[in-house]
Structure 1
Amino acid sequence: MSPVFMLSLRSIANRRLSAALTVVAVALAVALLLGVERLRNDARAGFAQTISATDLVVGARSGPVQLLLYSVFHIGDATANLSWASIEHVAALPQVKWLVPLALGDSHRGHRVVGTTTDFFAQYRHGEGRSLVFAAGGPFAGATARVEDLFQTVIGAEVAARHGYRLGERIVLSHGGGAGEGGARFAEHADKPFTVVGILAPSATPLDRAVLVSLEGLEAIHVDWHGGAPIPGLKITPEQVRKFDLRPKSVTAALVGLHSRSAVFRVQRQINAYAGEPLTAILPGATLQQLWDLVGIAERALLAVSALVVVVGLTGMVAVVLASLGERRRELAILRALGASPREVFALLALESLLLATAGIALGLGLLYGAGAALAPWLAAQHGLQPSLGWPAAGEWRLLGAVLAASLVASLLPALRAYRQSLADGMTVRT
């Protein structure tokens, strides 16, 4: 083992308290830097996988990002609805394998209500092609002859946890987007409550915060409404709604799957050129990337802040080493007297800084994995993030290499000062 390396270890051990504080400072900075980078990548991956295995999202003529926001993320409102005739036209295209309509507009205690069909539970995919899983119960019955089946609902994991709902609970929907979504709540459909028949397992998607009902059930609660308000003097009971045609006249959007993904651009052009009414068909994956580019400025700023924290940590390390040079003047003079060259003194100080930085990086990785394992359940439950606890990725290794290189550069100042100081001490005549 090199004598310089052994001297560095002994010198660090002799100043164990200040060295330990320096290592902790570097470790916290490294843990923050890698933590932000990992959360940034996990958030991007989760964001991009909110919806998968869906080839097109179809809505009324609007911007692609706006269509994606209200149809998939349940943020904002549609500029217009699509007619049921348009839905039938798109579903009848020979390249279309399946189509799931979505109807938005109502809410429950701030959570969006999504009207759809039972095909939604079979066709919707998130992550890497994962299906929706039920924590309890199952899907609603859909279009059946029985009146009680109309008023069934499936709720997301967050809705159930926040309000303590269980199977068999009866809930009342409200007209309008709801206070929690920034919309106005006009009135409640208190005369036609829905029964919870299914609770979805957490999926880290907007469905965790959604209430799903059948399209017929959504039509049933509006049979005695007109223009967004109850019709004065008209009261239709749940038992009477089956006398009406509950087929929806319009919906908000539709998810579309194709037989072959190679036909996606051809089908997109056909839908966008439909003469019946102005429609927009978007590729969800490409639009998700556009949306991330819009909101990604904040995560890049957070990464820059964490990089500044690393700079502060390394600056603290330099300050500690510089402050110790005055106390170590005698030590360095003795080394010179024993035959150590100025270059060896320079190497000694540079090696000490590298050892402190390396120890800080190792401790930072330990803190990162420990905090990740401890906070993973909370992040998944509260924020829908699935933190990865695997081996550092290539980008993270590059960050660690940059930290180590920065520590080497930072060590040059105290090492150069020690070099000059030891050289001057060696040239000075003591009397």
Structure 2
Amino acid sequence: MNKKKKSVREAALDILELIDKQQSYSNLLLNQVIQKEKITGPDVGLLTELVYGTIQRKLTLDYYLQPFLRKQPDHWVLNLLRLSIYQMVYLDKIPDRAILFEAVEIAKKRGHKGISSFVNGILRQVQRQGVPSLNIIADPIERLSVETSHPLWLVQRWNKQFGWEKTKSMCEYNLLPPVQTARVNMLMTSMEEVISLLKEEGFDVQPSPIIPEGIRVLRGNIAHSKVYESGLISIQDESSMVVAYALELSPDLAVLDACAAPGGKTGHIAEKLKGTGKVVALDLHSHKVRLINENAARLQLQNIEANVMDSRNTSELLELESFDRVLVDAPCSGLGVLRRKPDIKYSKTIQDIAALSHVQLEILNESARLLKKNGLLIYSTCTVDMEENLETVNEFLRQQENFIPHYIHLPNSLTHLVDPKENKVQILPQDFGGDGFFIAAFKKKDQ
């Protein structure tokens, strides 16, 4: 006998529970559940909206629920209430009666009659009374924290680092769905051909105003396109594409990508070398190195060599001063990608940031030994934490007397973001809709 197929809301609740229990990333779990439960068509969009929306707005939803909860319910019940309130407040196409009916049915199936009555009672109260106003929160920083569902410590920290206007804009921007962007493989095709082929497949795309080889996807997921399968494009955020420009690449250079997986920047570097020279790409995990190799094969790039290696010990295995360029796209707190991975904002702590800075410095110092004299070392992260980024940069320069800051060359549309005094770039999500990113460049002196 076939087991009854789960409803979209049941599947969404399962994912929310797994994220909390396993600390797994929402994007990975979402794909797994879509395949396992054979969810198709418009239901994929609804499931994605329910999962991401509920996670994105978790602190706001808890604020809305607070006056109606006399006791803390079981965790799954709290997630079911969050999921239901999210639909009632933010999704105007779904009638309340459908939301309530489904929530009560799920509560009956998962719990007992008392729980289904409890869920029904809470949601009916919310329906009658409405949610509490955010305007009663007097402190503007606390209000912004609740309104945009960012932990208070993070909003306070950003306010200190970037000021109120930038912090407010960044928190609001982080709630918007990210635009899918891709990089055209200029070794195999042209921008015009890719846009034409994607339009034939039914996708709505346009050239990026930021990156010459970038495209923005207005409708559809091009990961499922023939154009992607045939290696004509790579899915990559525009901010991430900026990094290859900072490397000032020209043919026949030897480049080390010290923290390479999943290989987006590796492929971009190899393409910018026009298939010449070599890109040595490293990662600690063999399954991630396999991803880099698969990507290189799809893009038909012969100049990538991927190895399993700990970037903190590279000088024991690779020849010293053998690379013209070194990229350290360092492991970081990921606070620049909260639109794609909203669960990060609830799991990261100040202690995590301090620990990551230590690891970043280890990798930078080790990678510096592999760079030729007059070569460029690029440090990048997908975060927007000034302490994490600047302290690492300043400490590296203190420890490495034979390195000096180097001016960062970017596409013309982004030169205004370069801080000429500091030789660094901090991209915020609101700058052009990409991920938050930090880039610094160093040159090795010719002693």
- Whether TM-score is above 0.5 comes out as no
- Given the two structures, how large is their TM-score scaled by the length of structure 2? 0.19
TM value normalised by structure 1: 0.20
Which structure is larger by alpha-carbon Rg, 1 or 2? 1
Select the structure with the greater relative contact order (CA < 8 A; seq sep ≥ 6): 1
